[in-house]
Structure 1
Amino acid sequence: MNDKPPLDIQQLIDRQRFGAFHWVLLALCFLILVVDGFDTAAIGYIAPALLAEWGVEKSALGPVLSAALFGLAIGAVTAGPLADRVGRKAVLVVSVAFFGIASLATAFSTSLEMLTVLRFVTGIGLGAAMPNAATLTAEYAPAARRSLLTNAMFCGFPLGAAGGGLVAAWMIPHHGWRSVLVLGGALPLVLACVLAWRLPESLRYLVVNRKPADRIRKVLRRMTQRPIAEGTVFVVPEPTQASGKRAIGLVLSRAYLLGSVMLWLTYFMGLLIFYLLTSWMPVLMKEVGFSIERAALMAALFPLGGGIGAVAVGWLMDRTNPHAVIAAAYALTAAFVFGIGQGTASLGVLATLIFLAGVFMNGAQTAMPALAAQFYPTQGRATGVSWMMGIGRCGGIAGALVGAELMRRHLGFDMIFTLASVPALIATLALVVKLVASRGVHALATPADLAQRAH
């Protein structure tokens, strides 16, 4: 008979000192987002050079720019339920290797049709990687710093996207646009090998899915740097309404449905803005008189500000109502995106507006997976986060296609950015609705929850 009290895994994680184990996990997930961001944004940066080499109309790039986004949506929606069944680590390793191979193949495209198909295939891997990196980070982050750490991890995406612009500005004139895709394929393949070696599986996943105790103890020893006694019973408390439900059924259940829909709508609108701007800003900048190199550098300012925004928003989310923080960031996004359209008279003003729009846009958008991860319990968390990101990817698809339509209609620079500010206002409203709808539904403890328990 085992008289030892059960070991609450979540309490252990929340009390654990942030040490080498956590830094390795955070660094690996951060690097996943870096290469994800690089490969996702690369097509926008190479677009002007591709247009010049192949002699095609700008509107013909619409399918190419949106193809990866269709793949992203499919990859995210399918990978979440898969990760809830087979684990976060396996899905991450395979997805990173997958989009690395696909990006390498894309570099050898000989037609728009071939490029479109290969970008779609690349997108499947990209879409599978990001939500599972967010889920794994959230499940290891202590409650008091969960939003900050998850958002800090997500800084990798805008950093990778911005790095793509900087790399493209140097590589394309010297080595051609294909070299950007070759680099975008080689880096993920190296990273996948490192992930297979060092990335831990989620403890919450292992316990909730009743995996062998030896496997759980092995991860615990690595995290705590001390042995765990044999016979220890591991538990993870979950909300009562979550017990017994399958992942997809839980996300669509009565307790979570309206909140889920509002998460989807918010993420949809955010990605519509993000991909409209990152896909078409280099082309728009070139049309108002910038060189290809300068257009890429100006466009890179938009994702570059994301790191500052993500950390600031995450820090505030851990100290006050996260819905209010993210909603305010989206509202400020609307203001600065509108301002970009009015700021072409001065290079310095335009650069500042692009950077500030990126700070708040990327800060808000990178905070959404942390918000979703807190909303859903373990058995539906990967599904909930990935469905938000997958369904929201339709906004990215819409953004790329809307950009092509705006190019076809020859709208002015100021009108394009005025229209681009509207989705941010819709995202703000959706978060207000979710706040009201999801009161009392908490799957992961927030700092406020911990304070309440202490009293």
Structure 2
Amino acid sequence: MPNTSRTLNVQQFIDEQRFTPYQWCILICCFLLVAIDVYDAVAVGFVVPVLAQAWNVSKAEFGLVMSAAVFGLAIGALIAGPLFDRISPKTVIVCSMFTFGLCSIGTMTADSLTSLGIWRLLTGIGLGAALPGAATLMFEYAPARMNALLVNAIGCGALVGATACGLISAALVPAYGWESVFIIGGVFPIVLGVVMLFATPQPLRFMVLRSWPSDRIAAVLRRIAPGKSFDDTRFVLSEEPQAQQQTGVSVVLSKRFRSGTLMLWTAYFCAATVYYLMLGWLPTLIQGTGATLQQATLATTLLAAGGIIGTFGLGWLMGRFDRDLVIAAAFALGGLGIWIAGHQAGNLALLAACIFIAGIGISGAIGSMAFLAAAFYPTSGRSTGISWMQGIGRFGGIVGPIAGATMLKENFSFSTVFTIMMCVVLAAAAALLMKRAAASRASASVSAVQSESA
């Protein structure tokens, strides 16, 4: 081992630099990854009318196919967590992109509900494994002054992907058939995976934590600061040594982080339950108040439109105020919007405005949860923490539509459905307040132990 003459804290170094073209490249790649991830996740929904007619089955029978995709997303995220630490985050991201790209192309061969469901399950596993790594990569290359905003910014790729899927489906399906949607959904991630393989680095703190060769770390830092020399430099992290001794699941479920982990899972699960319930059943609920299908659909789109404003706004606020309080307040705002909306059955304009407010709070908060997890866990558990939170939370995406169908079957009133959703969203807010309290106690305990050893 060569002698080193100086030590460089990589986190502090990134914080002190301007945001360079190389970091812009990472941002764009992560944004596109999220966009194509969501494109593939929602693609089957845009071809259901065509397939139902071609296969002579009812649209309702595609419910299990869509559930299989969501289940795959959850399983993929849970599997990816340990793999991020056993292999490396970038390797998992690229392999996952190749996987869901090939499975998307394979979807073109489906000729029944069963085969379609299997292909969507496999595609979902790849999708769920790729997404958490994007948040980790962006978090570790973003200066602290703007990391919340940038991590949230890549999350907005979700809306771009969903919108692009709708526009592409409308343009290509009538002329080239339903398979054309999955050709694009398969080729694009494979191409982007190749680009990311050569154009993006491994997460910086991951390389330092795993004691990668100094010249490989220096090569990445030179792309951020070309004029600086890193000869004879030893790269370190500012995290305490205890946080670097464990990795992956052992960190996420360790005594110090266990309570916060459970609260993150609870918050994401509750939020996903309400969000997917609203996506699936809001048009039907609004139509039940006397609105037309077009009016109900337009009102529902405000849920996502509010999410854009919420995601960027919360990213800015988390950089300036306590992030747990910011997201808890966002969930509370979303819950208030939902509750008021439930009492506007005869006023479509006010109902739409309340849905927009709910979108700012709920959609924006969900889009901010990846940063919340990234900032909560140390480097050794960051990727696993994000992926497991999303994996557990996505089961809410399965529960939500089922709960909505049950309430409609039991003839719950319009206001009652919205009141129940409000309570679930407020449970997400309460979970984050409990996470904040648990984190404060854990930090105080660590400080006390350090003081005693000193």
TM beyond 0.5: yes
| Closer, same or farther: CA 29–6 of 1 in aligned 2, 3 Å | same
- Output the aligned Cα RMSD: 2.7
Give the corresponding residue for 1:322. Answer: 323
Does 2:263 correspond to 1:262? yes
**In 2, Cα distance between equivalents of 1:65 and 1:340:** 28
Does 2:218 correspond to 1:217? yes
| Closer, same or farther: CA 320–430 of 1 in aligned 2, 3 Å | same
| Closer, same or farther: CA 429–57 of 1 in aligned 2, 3 Å | farther
- The Cα shift of 1:253 comes to 0.9
Give the corresponding residue for 2:15. Answer: 14
- The Cα shift of 1:177 comes to 4.9
Give the corresponding residue for 2:37. Answer: 36
Contact 2:7 2:235 in 1 (8 A): yes
- The Cα shift of 1:241 comes to 3.2
Does 2:357 correspond to 1:392? no
Contact 1:59 1:404 in 2 (8 A): no
- The Cα shift of 1:438 comes to 0.4
- The Cα shift of 1:341 comes to 4.5
Contact 1:48 1:283 in 2 (8 A): no
Give the corresponding residue for 1:199. Answer: 200
**In 2, Cα distance between equivalents of 1:190 and 1:440:** 46
**In 2, Cα distance between equivalents of 1:408 and 1:84:** 45
Deviates more, 1:161-170 or 1:35-44: 161-170
Give the corresponding residue for 2:446. Answer: none
Contact 1:258 1:434 in 2 (8 A): yes
- The Cα shift of 1:259 comes to 0.4
Q: Deviations over 1:37-89 (max 9, x none)?
A: 22223334444555565554565333222111211111111112211232221
Kindly tell me the number of residue pairs found equivalent between the two proteins: 441
SS at 2:428's partner residue?
Answer: helix
Contact 1:43 1:279 in 2 (8 A): no
**In 2, Cα distance between equivalents of 1:309 and 1:90:** 32
Output the amino acid matched with 1:104: I
Give the corresponding residue for 1:69. Answer: 70
- What TM-score, normalized by structure 2, do the two folds share? 0.88
**In 2, Cα distance between equivalents of 1:355 and 1:166:** 22
| Closer, same or farther: CA 423–84 of 1 in aligned 2, 3 Å | same
**In 2, Cα distance between equivalents of 1:51 and 1:283:** 20
Contact 1:9 1:204 in 2 (8 A): yes
- The Cα shift of 1:352 comes to 3.4
Does 2:250 correspond to 1:239? no
**In 1, Cα distance between equivalents of 2:379 and 2:231:** 25
Give the corresponding residue for 2:309. Answer: 308
Deviates more, 1:45-54 or 1:398-407: 45-54
Unmatched 5+ residue regions in structure 1? 443-455
SS at 2:119's partner residue?
Answer: helix
Q: Deviations over 1:102-146 (max 9, x none)?
A: 223224422222222111111111111111101111111111222
**In 2, Cα distance between equivalents of 1:5 and 1:351:** 59
Output the amino acid matched with 2:437: V
Give the corresponding residue for 1:434. Answer: 435
Q: Deviations over 1:322-360 (max 9, x none)?
A: 111101111121222344455554554444333332222
Contact 1:159 1:306 in 2 (8 A): no
Contact 2:85 2:247 in 1 (8 A): no
Give the corresponding residue for 2:447. Answer: none
**In 2, Cα distance between equivalents of 1:420 and 1:58:** 26
Give the corresponding residue for 2:253. Answer: 252
- What TM-score, normalized by structure 1, do the two folds share? 0.88
Alignment of structure 1 residues 336-375 onto 2, 5 Å: 336-343=337-344, 345=346, 348-375=349-376
Give the corresponding residue for 1:332. Answer: 333
Output the amino acid matched with 1:272: T
| Closer, same or farther: CA 36–125 of 1 in aligned 2, 3 Å | same
Unmatched 5+ residue regions in structure 2? 444-454
* Identity rate, percent: 43
